[in-house]
Amino acid sequence: MTSPILALEHIRITVTDLDTEIGHYTALLGPAPSWRGSSNGHERAIFNTDNVAVHLVASEQAQGLEAICFAVDSLERMHRRLKRVGIDSHETPAEDPGVAAASPKMHVASSADTRGIQISFTERDSGIGTREPSAANGLDHIVIASRRAEGTAFLLGSQLGLDMRMDMSRAEWKARLMFFRCGDLIVEVFEQLDQDGTDAKDDASSQQDSFYGLTWRVADADASHARLTQAGFDVSEVRKGRKPGSQVLTVRNNTAGVATLLIELPAT
């Protein structure tokens, strides 16, 4: 049976100063927020990119990438799957007021069953993915940091049903990387290997993952470098990416604490 998951619907980033971070993300992504107001008891702003929404949510907690929400073809089918694979979940009102009439609820998985990361699900039709044009042409990768990649792979692949495309270890990087296809983007699992190239020991900390960062697609890495530099961002020089023919640059500030990379993909 195929997974009910169609795509990554939105990501949630908590911020301590919503006005300031709206300014930063408007400069980073291109358009102004498509919506700002109060939802589920929190002030938030929603940005649309080509394939995923970004929710900036005001919070007194430390800012950063806090949660992800998958779009599914049927919440009922997703709920059955979660129950079958041993993941507890509960129903809550949808976070996006713009779609509340069509999809007024979402299911939130228990973080105790998802290796400590916050994952939710909301119902959409199969046409998800077309959003407002932006300077960032959509999300390319979202990275999960893991101390036990095999456990994270079991969650994403076996339990949630995402398609694993690659599993590789690189001694020169001291890292193991796994790539799962989700719609038109990749959920990447990053595990830092020990000095001898072995996996982390299986202790309590190895059962807890965290969100690490985001890689946004851009049409022109050099133009993005010039635009962000002019806007006051601290960005690295443009360099060759790991994917042949790609170019990347690192955004070092004004991202609400989220490790952020921009990538220009090779022409197809």
Q: Which domains does the chain have, with CATH numbers?
A: 5-123 (3.10.180.10), 139-264 (3.10.180.10)
Distance CA 30, CA 24 (A): 10
Cα angle value 178/47/128 (rounded, 5°): 60
Would you state the pLDDT for residue 39? 77
* Cβ atoms of residues 218 and 264 within 8 Å: yes
Would you state the pLDDT for residue 126? 44
pLDDT, the chain, mean: 89
Would you state the pLDDT for residue 8? 96
pLDDT digits (tens, 9 = 90+) for 191-237: 998 755 555 556 666 789 999 999 999 999 999 999 999 999 999 99
Give the mean model confidence (pLDDT) for residues 244-263: 97
Comparing C-alpha atoms, which of 158, 77, 167, 166 is closest to residue 114? 158
pLDDT digits (tens, 9 = 90+) for 38-62: 877 789 999 999 999 999 999 988 7
Would you state the pLDDT for residue 125? 59
* Cβ atoms of residues 238 and 227 within 8 Å: no
For residue 7, the cross-strand partners are 71
* Cβ atoms of residues 186 and 144 within 8 Å: no
Would you state the pLDDT for residue 170? 82
Distance CA 185, CA 129 (A): 10
DSSP tally for the chain: helices H, then strands E: 4, 16
Would you state the pLDDT for residue 204? 63
Report residue 240's pLDDT band, with 50, 70 and 90 as the boundaries.
very high
Q: Which residue has the higher pLDDT, 197 or 74?
A: 74
